[in-house]
Amino acid sequence: MKKEKPTLLEEHIKKAKEGKQTSFNYLLDTFWNDIYSFQLKRTRDEYEAEDITIQSFSRAFDKIHTFNETYNFRSWLTQISKNIHIDLLRKKNASIQSKTTTEVDDRVYKIADDNPTPEDKLIREQNLAQLLRYIKQLKPNYQEVINLRYFQELSYKEIAESLDEPINNVKVKLLRAKKLLSEIIAGTKK
């Protein structure tokens, strides 16, 4: 009996488990709208939906090694997102402020960022004045991570400390910011 060839999604899940940056990008691009729309319906607030979506992907990427391929990836991601939203509601109701511990920061997953992505290449090709005009079209939280990473040249850890956010949230936010920025740049070249 022949074994079925894995789908593109299965290939990327496998590669993401191995820490491949391009596979994290693929999963983020493929499922971002689904998770964001799901949260937008629940929260009725764009910023809160976006924040929960970022947290959902960062948690999923952090725990990707635990994903069981016999389940549907979209459903797994949606459940993570639902749990994060429920946790946030509980915290709001209890008015508890929580901070990420350094122990959690130290165990956070590693995404190799030394290989330039197509988005990085497109961003670098722009002249500075034009690039700044493009960056101004992003939402303020995306402008901020682009500024901290590319203009102030801070590490992920330094950005996380500066924003007082978990490092994996910073990584997902930066992935999303680069994707949106490259779409703005590509859209103006048509």
Q: Is the pLDDT of residue 188 over 90?
A: no
The CA-to-CA distance between both ends of the chain, in Å, stands at 49
Per-residue pLDDT tens over the stretch 61-77: 989 999 998 899 999 99
How far is residue 62's CA from residue 108's CA, in Å, rounded to a whole number? Answer: 7
How far is residue 75's CA from residue 67's CA, in Å, rounded to a whole number? Answer: 11
**Alpha helices, H only, 18-155:** 21-43, 46-62, 73-94, 102-107, 118-124, 128-135, 140-146
Per-residue pLDDT tens over the stretch 103-132: 444 444 444 455 566 666 666 665 677 888
Which pLDDT does position 76 carry in this prediction? 95
pTM over 0.85, yes/no: no
**Structural tokens at position 137:** 């079209």
Per-residue pLDDT tens over the stretch 22-54: 899 899 999 999 999 999 999 999 889 999 999
